[in-house]
Amino acid sequence: MALKVYVDRMSQPSRAILLLCKVNGIEFEEVKIELAKSEHRSSEFAGIACIHQVPAIVHGDFKLFESHAILIYVASAFPGVADHWYPADVQKRAKIHSVLDWHHSNLRQHFLLEKDVSFRNVVDEEDRDRILGPHKRILKWIENVRNATGPYFDELHSILLHVREKLKERRSKLLPNYEEENTKHWMDFS
């Protein structure tokens, strides 16, 4: 039964689904829903995810949205997924649910506009240092995920490197002397 994954790689929960599938060698079709083009607002996509948000999946007749529900479904429905991703042991499993709930209600919530931690981590060095710098455990957690997911983490985040260049370009157009000014400030305080 073919698995279709509806995602925008700019979206953190979308990348989480792609990462789980890729790391576990699950065959799937990636269907791109470009948020920037409002493709998630189409009536066609509403038939898959009535909340008009990515990610979503279709597996045969079964449709599902909400990334954590999708992660659990994928880890349970595909036999090749190693136990540590979603352990059979109920207590280990409960710990996973606890972290998933914490992720939604704390990490994504409290970073507000900066809610996509992995986005900030990759896109803007200054933002990363300002926002994530004091949170050593979060930085360590990102690094652990990166190490545990082999080359796929970097592959899926490469889209953000492109955004980083675009943002730099836009910033230097808005503030032509930005780099110079920045250096001046640095020198003033040194």
Ligand X SMILES: N[C@@H](CCC(=O)N[C@@H](CS)C(=O)NCC(=O)O)C(=O)O
Task: List interacting residues with ligand X (CB under 6 A).
Answer: 11-13, 35, 40, 52-55, 66-67
Q: Checking DSSP bridges between strand 29-32 and strand 62-65, what pairing results, if any?
A: unpaired
Cross-strand partners of 4: 29, 58
Pick the closer one to ligand X by CB: 35 or 139: 35
* Shortest spacing between CB 37 and ligand X, in angstroms: 12
* Shortest spacing between CB 142 and ligand X, in angstroms: 17
* Shortest spacing between CB 54 and ligand X, in angstroms: 4
d(CA 83, CA 26): 15
d(CA 54, CA 35): 8
Pick the closer one to ligand X by CB: 104 or 185: 104
* Shortest spacing between CB 56 and ligand X, in angstroms: 8
Cross-strand partners of 7: 32
Q: CA neighbours within 13 Å on the CB side: how many for 86?
A: 18
Q: Which amino acid is at 137?
A: R
First-to-last CA distance in the chain?
62
Alpha-carbon distances of 114 from 66, 98, 107, 170, rounded to whole Å: 20, 22, 10, 19
Pick the closer one to ligand X by CB: 40 or 120: 40
d(CA 152, CA 188): 42
Pick the closer one to ligand X by CB: 46 or 175: 46
* Shortest spacing between CB 17 and ligand X, in angstroms: 9
Pick the closer one to ligand X by CB: 38 or 183: 38
